[in-house]
């Protein structure tokens, strides 16, 4: 596969940029939190660049070795980084939005349904130096792509790379445009489990709502757990986990503990309305015994975890939309 990718460069299937470049992205998409999303657009600005590997790169979610090994094999066989690691920094002195306004070399346009990506190249060495200087002391938070990042570390160690870099899509929290959604847990219990009793035994009280009302309450709050069961799928019991004696995010750690202590099969469902509505139908069709609907992780919870250099359970966050693959490819054999 590595030889094929080199042949593709020779045949101009893949075209190598001759200049040292950053790639500036502007994405626009419908706000997924609004049911009829035509009424509001979100714009997110990003920068694709190489980042040196080090302690300044901070993960926030648990990884699993089998998925790391899977991605490592792809990287080892291609000698390419095919996808960016989606990451975030926080720096008021670096405005990617302002950089976009100043740039005028649009190279790529991609549009599908309500999503649009525009991309510009930045070749100006002064601008590149300015960005590097501003961000060199910044913490970089991985928000999606933990397994790819771990696989790249494995690749660098296997190849005995002297300089270790990872291609990242970087967005600035200060520019806004970051959209964090929930990932819900749909469960089939292997034993006769009363999920409501499990939550009540943990000291949580609940109020009951029609599923759509309850779901909107959960999504507009923090640290809430909603529970639907196949016995009454049209209703959601909403529990507040904010007083639990657990580390952030408390509601997700509590569910993670309950699922570990009680044998179960778990599917993870993204917090988009069409997915959620389909999930209610699947409860009605008896596919699942229980569904835990969860509040999205707040920024306070996110930084509480990362500041302590700990990690959340898997599938704790869903940053929407995910980064497109293949807009930029990094050939690792240059090292």
For 88, 153, 185, 215, the CA distances from 315, given in Å and listed in that order, are 18, 21, 9, 18
The HSE-up count of residue 47 (CA atoms within 13 Å, CB side) is 28
Q: At what angle do helices 146-158 and 65-78 cross, to 10 degrees?
A: 60
pTM for this predicted structure: 0.91
- Angstrom distance (rounded) from CA 163 to CA 10: 26
Using an 8 Å Cβ cutoff, are 294 and 226 in contact?
yes
The secondary element (H helix, E strand) that includes residue 140 is strand 140-144
Residue 303's φ and ψ, nearest 5 degrees, are: -75, -25
From first to last of its 335 residues, what are the pLDDT tens digits of the chain? 567 777 777 888 887 788 888 999 999 999 987 755 456 899 999 999 999 999 999 999 999 999 999 999 999 988 889 999 999 999 999 999 999 988 766 667 899 988 999 999 898 899 999 999 999 989 999 999 999 999 999 999 998 888 899 999 999 999 889 999 999 999 999 998 999 999 999 999 999 999 999 999 999 999 999 999 999 999 999 999 999 999 999 999 999 999 999 999 999 999 898 899 999 999 999 999 999 999 999 999 999 999 999 999 999 999 999 999 888 999 887 64
């Amino acid at each position: 596969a590595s030889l094929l990718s080199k042949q593709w460069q020779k045949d101009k299937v893949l075209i190598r940029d001759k200049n040292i470049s950053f790639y500036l992205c502007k994405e626009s998409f419908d706000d997924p939190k609004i049911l009829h999303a035509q009424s509001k657009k979100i714009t997110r600005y990003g920068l694709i660049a190489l980042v040196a590997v080090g302690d300044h790169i901070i993960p926030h979610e648990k990884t699993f070795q089998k998925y790391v090994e899977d991605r490592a094999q792809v990287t080892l066989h291609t000698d390419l980084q095919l996808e960016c690691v989606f990451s975030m920094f926080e720096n008021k002195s670096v405005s990617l939005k302002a950089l976009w306004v100043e740039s005028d070399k649009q190279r790529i346009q991609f549009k599908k349904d309500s999503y649009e990506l525009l991309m510009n190249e930045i070749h100006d060495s002064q601008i590149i130096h300015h960005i590097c200087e501003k961000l060199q002391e910044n913490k970089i938070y991985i928000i999606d792509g933990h397994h790819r990042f771990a696989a790249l570390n494995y690749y660098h160690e296997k190849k005995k790379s002297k300089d270790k870099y990872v291609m990242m899509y970087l967005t600035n929290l200060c520019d806004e445009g970051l959209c964090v959604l929930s990932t819900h847990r749909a469960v089939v219990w292997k034993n006769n489990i009363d999920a409501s009793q499990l939550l009540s035994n943990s000291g949580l009280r609940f109020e009951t709502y029609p599923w759509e009302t309850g779901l909107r309450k959960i999504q507009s709050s923090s640290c809430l757990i909603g529970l639907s069961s196949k016995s009454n799928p049209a209703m959601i019991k909403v529990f507040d986990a904010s007083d639990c004696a657990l580390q952030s995010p408390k509601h997700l750690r509590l569910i993670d503990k309950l699922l570990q202590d009680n044998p179960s099969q778990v599917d993870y469902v993204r917090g988009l309305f069409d997915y959620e509505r389909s999930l209610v139908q699947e409860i009605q069709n008896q596919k699942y015994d229980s569904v835990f609907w969860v509040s999205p992780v707040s920024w306070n919870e996110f930084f509480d975890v990362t500041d302590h250099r700990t990690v959340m359970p898997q599938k704790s966050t869903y940053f929407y939309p995910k980064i497109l693959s293949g807009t930029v490819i990094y050939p690792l054999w240059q090292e």
